[in-house]
Amino acid sequence: MNIKDIKLQGWRGDVLALASGLLLPLAFAPFSIAPLAIVSLLLLFICWHQVTARQAFWRGWLFGLGYFGLGVSWVSVSMIYFGGMTVPLSAVITIVFVMFLALFPATVGLISKRFFKQYQNTPWFVFVLVLPALWVLSEWVRSWIFTGFPWLSVGYSQIAWPLVGYAPVWGVYSISFGVALTAGLLMYALLESAQARKIATGGIVSLWIVGYALTLPEWTEPVDKPISIAMIQGNIEQDKKWLPEQRIPTLDMYANLSRKNWGTDLIIWPETALPMLYHQAKPFLSAVAQEARVNGTELLLGIPVYDGRTKRYFNTMLSIGALESFYEKKHLVPFGEYLPLPSFLGWFIEYFKIPMSNFSSGAGEKPLVQVAGQQVGISICYEDVFGEEVISALPEATLLVNASNDAWFGDSLAPHQHLEIARLRAVETGRYMLRSTNTGVSAVIDPKGRIVSQSPQFENHVLKHEIQPMKGITPYAIFGNLLTVLFMFALIVTAIVLNWRKTRL
């Protein structure tokens, strides 16, 4: 039976849409079955074939429920186990969040049917031109609307596959386009003649060969001598981290493990490693800094800072040793680190007793700290999911550090997905990425996105390695997402013009 004869009307198409959405998270870490990203989008495109705009929206939404319902199910972990929220309330908030995210693939289906309906019987137009561009634009909009949630963009799933070669040139969304275009070309091949199948096969082969070829150049080059680093994974349980009786054992643990590694050029402690404010930790930090200077070591550590003058709190990375400098986190997590629209939502938080912090966004143009003779580009936890924020440290930064506390998400998919995202940032920038975490996964990632060393999860561990600072700049670090987004808009404008001309005939 030819696929052109298959009309997935009614519940069968709805079930397939939901199932294909559930399939997509398996393409990401920790499962890392990358080809499933293409299979998932292909099945979605099949569900959108020969349906109305309303049906396309509904099936896109069902796809999104499966996609995000499984893929970001970990958001409930922090609320239930570490935020003290009730299971019913956590379930409601998670479901609403997933339902909102599901609107993005739903909107892609709606627009493709509502505004390009004249071409619904022209597969190359819909599946090769319109849908891949709309998919990428939906991911891009998701990355900034309401402060952004670019998690699980399909490009991240290809970190170990040839399409990753596009990352240092056009960024993660160009990889997403490659995945969607591959699925679209496969759909085109299934719907058309033998000649069309040859064209589609040629397109797919060319797309992937170019991707592989782009993995071969060295976009950046070594600078200075390699430096030795040690990342201390404290493995402090989140529900015990801020207990008063845990403070001294935590300080002793970090200090003792650092002493065992004096002589290392750079020692890194994770996000909010010290469960106290900077001014409270001053005597302890002064003593550790003195030891570090004597032994030729510098430290980079996470600690919250209170500014008594402005009455504000900051999530900060602090360097001590040869000199003291701060990086204050800029991109905060709504509800997790600050309350958006406090005059409007304050009653809601108060009534339901939703736990949250009260951090302020940091100042400064570039997220740079100088340690071990190097300019280091810093991102704290969630900040590294925003590629254009990470590249703001370039070209000055010779290496990247992401300090995180993924203990908030327990033994869920989140820490593995987060590590995958950090790997893509290394490829985009052509820099080593040092990922220092509280409970894992801490890792050293090379400029090709390969994990060269990592810590076991949920263990107290010191990850030691020698890394090479890099200089130079990738095309992506110059232009960010601009070129990819403009290209997607150009494809849509082309489609609109062709559609308009067809309606005029």
Does residue 115 sit in the same domain as residue 158?
yes
119/226 same-domain check:
no
Position 333 scores a pLDDT of 82
Q: Judge if 169 and 292 occupy the same domain.
A: no
Residue at token pair 């186990």: 81
Mean pLDDT for the stretch of residues 188-198: 89
- Do 208 and 246 sit in the same domain of this protein? no
**What is the rounded average pLDDT of the residues 404-433?**
95
**Degrees, nearest 5: CA angle 446-449-453:** 50
Mean per-residue pLDDT of the chain: 91
Residues 201 and 316 in one domain: no
For the cut 80, the answer to whether the pLDDT of residue 181 exceeds it is yes
- pLDDT for 366 equals 86
Residues 412/77, Cβ–Cβ less than 8 Å: yes
Query: Which pLDDT belongs to residue 347?
Result: 55
What's the pLDDT band for 4 if we cut at 50, 70, 90? Answer: low
Q: Does residue 132 share a domain with residue 64?
A: yes
Do 275 and 200 share a structural domain? Answer: no
Segment 136-165 mean pLDDT: 97
Confidence band (pLDDT; 50, 70, 90) for 1? very low
Same domain, 60 and 183: yes
Residues 276-295, mean pLDDT to the nearest whole number: 96
Domain total in the chain: 2
Is residue 92's pLDDT more than 60?
yes
State the DSSP H helix or E strand holding residue 436, giving kind and residue range, or none if neither.
strand 433-437
> Which long-range CB contacts under 8 A does 108-114 form with residues at least 24 apart?
108/60, 108/134, 108/135, 108/138, 109/48, 109/53, 109/56, 109/57, 109/59, 109/60, 110/53, 110/54, 110/56, 110/57, 110/60, 112/48, 112/56, 113/48, 113/51, 113/52, 113/53, 113/56, 114/53
From the list 47, 113, 241, 271, the catalytic residue is 271
State whether 197 and 291 are in the same domain: no
Q: Take residue 428 and report the two structure tokens written for it.
A: 């985009």
CATH number for the domain spanning 237: value is 3.60.110.10
| Residue of 139, 241, 298, 329 marked catalytic | 329
352 pLDDT tier (thresholds 50, 70, 90) = very low
% of residues, the chain, pLDDT over 70: 92
Residue 423 has pLDDT above 50, yes or no: yes
Pick from 2-11, 81-90, 220-229: least confident: 2-11
> What is the model's pLDDT at position 7?
63
Instruction: Please tell me the distance from the alpha carbon of residue 181 to that of residue 133, in angstroms, as a whole number.
Output: 8
Q: Of 173 and 91, which is predicted with more confidence? A: 173
Q: How far apart, in whole angstroms, are the C-alpha atoms of residue 72 and residue 74?
A: 5
More confident residue, 503 or 317: 317
Q: Is residue 5 pLDDT above 60, yes or no?
A: no
Distance, CA of 21 to CA of 67 (rounded, Å): 4
- Given a cut of 70, whether residue 353 has pLDDT beyond it is no
Q: Is 381 a catalytic residue?
A: yes
Dihedral sign for Cα 320, 405, 327, 472, please.
Answer: positive
Domain that holds residue 369: 221-473
| Confidence at residue 82, expressed as pLDDT on a 0 to 100 scale | 67
Q: Which residues pair with 467 in a beta bridge?
A: 227
268 & 127 share domain: no
- 307-323, pLDDT tens digit by residue? 999 999 999 999 998 88
Structure tokens at 230: 């040690």
Mean pLDDT of 348-368: 70
Question: Is residue 236 pLDDT above 50, yes or no?
Answer: yes
The reply to whether 61 and 35 lie within a common domain is yes
What mean pLDDT do residues 399-406 have?
96
329 labelled catalytic: yes
Judged against a pLDDT cut of 70, whether residue 100 lies above it is answered with yes
197 and 267 in one domain?
no
Catalytic one among 139, 381, 389, 448?
381
Return the minimum-mean-pLDDT range out of 76-80, 96-100, 380-384.
Answer: 76-80
pLDDT digits (tens, 9 = 90+) for 467-501: 999 999 999 999 999 999 999 999 999 988 887 77
